[in-house]
Amino acid sequence: MKKVLVLEDEANIRSFVVINLKRAGYEAIEAGTGEEALQQLKRNPDIKVALLDIMLPDMDGFEVCRRIRAGDNKIGIIMLTARTQEMDKVTGLMTGADDYVTKPFSPAELTARIDALYRRTGGDVTADTGEISQPPFLLNTRNRTLEKSGNRVKLTQVEYSIIKLFMDNPGKALSREEILDSVWGRDYFGELKIVDVNIRRLRIKIEDDPTNPAYITTVWGYGYKWGF
């Protein structure tokens, strides 16, 4: 069964989420604190997606996200943010989250996001076994890893999908909508801004000078281009 970690300290919100996940065919692994969430992840290495609340009794959700990513865990991470925490969305994405859902959310919205993320995090296995070499970059599409000049670049699954899209379309201007559709899926409810935030994060990881990008260039008023 497809497992989803639900980290939320408010019991009523957590059970609302859990009930809806079960209805959608997921098994929910519950945690009420950050520490508990990290333990559950160790105990259940087959968890593919985690929902992380931000305000928690022991540590905040960003810290949980950071610790998960520090362990090179490739699970999909969705932050549960409050409506007023506009900046949290960006902070969450910068600490390695793949997506965010604003409270209050509808069950349909939440499960659509989880479904989309689940598909991207290797829930579907493609027959792809190759490598794309565009020096200094080497993308291994079997292991879903990226190397720059022989050094491994740690990527989230979303970042990997964006890089893959770029490397499949070198030199082609891609609109933000195109990137959103391709990476997040057509059923994605979110905003275009998520594309920009992920690009910003990717630039920090792969550009020699992120403020003056040479690989991911901006096409003003349109989108981005893999600049080869």
CB of 114 to Ca ion, least distance (A): 19
Residue 96: left if φ>0, alpha if ψ -120 to 50, beta else—which one? left
- Residue 85: CB atoms within 10 A of its CB come to 18
Report d(CA 167, CA 169) in Å as an integer. Answer: 5
Min CB(34)–Ca ion separation in Å: 11
Residue (of 133, 151, 130) closest to 141 by Cα position: 130
Shorter beta-carbon distance to Ca ion: residue 105 or 184:
105
As a whole number of angstroms, the longest Cα–Cα distance in the chain is 51
Q: Which is nearer to Ca ion, 78 or 139 (CB)?
A: 78
CB 178 within 8 A of CB 223: yes
**Nearer Cβ to Ca ion (15/175):** 15
CB of 56 to Ca ion, least distance (A): 6
Q: Which is nearer to Ca ion, 53 or 159 (CB)?
A: 53
**C-beta closer to Ca ion: residue 55 or 138:** 55
Which residues contact Ca ion by CB under 5 A?
A: 9, 53, 55
How far apart CA 131 and CA 142 sit, in angstroms, is: 8
Q: What b/e string do you get for 38-51 counting C-beta neighbours within 10 Å, with b at 16 or more?
A: bebbeeeeebbbbb
CB atoms within 10 A of CB 155: 22
Minimal CB distance residue for Ca ion: 55
Q: How far is the CB of 66 from Ca ion (least distance, A)?
A: 17
CA R_g for the chain: 17
Task: Report the nearest approach of Ca ion to the CB of residue 17 (Å).
Answer: 12
Kindly tell me the burial class for residue 219, based on how many C-beta atoms sit within 10 Å of its own C-beta (0-12, 13-18, 19 or more). Answer: middle
Q: How far is the CB of 219 from Ca ion (least distance, A)?
A: 40
Residue nearer to Ca ion on the CB measure, 88 or 115: 88
